[in-house]
Amino acid sequence: MTVALPPALTQLVERLLNTGRYADEGEVVREALRVLEHQEFDESPALEAAILEGVRSPHVPYDVAVLDRIRQNARLQA
């Protein structure tokens, strides 16, 4: 597979290589894809906290105040 990167991303790859953390460009791309996969397919702690709160709570009609409280609780647990 061949990938063309815009100049800004090419510079980013070069800066990351210069840190010594990565052996080559492929390693940088593999790490970036692992991070992307994690973001795309793993639930965030905030989302998980909101789901658990909903499962454990008695039924309450959702309004702005309830959603604000859930968001605040999720931020505190993240």
Write the CA distances from 24 to 6, 8, 11, 66, 75, integer angstroms. Answer: 18, 17, 14, 49, 37
Q: For residues 50-54, give the mean pLDDT.
A: 80
* DSSP per position, 12-67: HHHHHHHTTS-SSHHHHHHHHHHHHHHHHHSPPHHHHHHHHHHHHSPP----HHHH
Q: Closest by alpha carbon to 31, among 14, 10, 45, 16? A: 16
What average pLDDT is seen over the chain? 86
Q: pTM (2 decimals)?
A: 0.53
| pLDDT score recorded for residue 33 | 93
pLDDT tens digits, one per residue of 12-46: 999 999 999 999 999 999 999 998 888 777 767 77
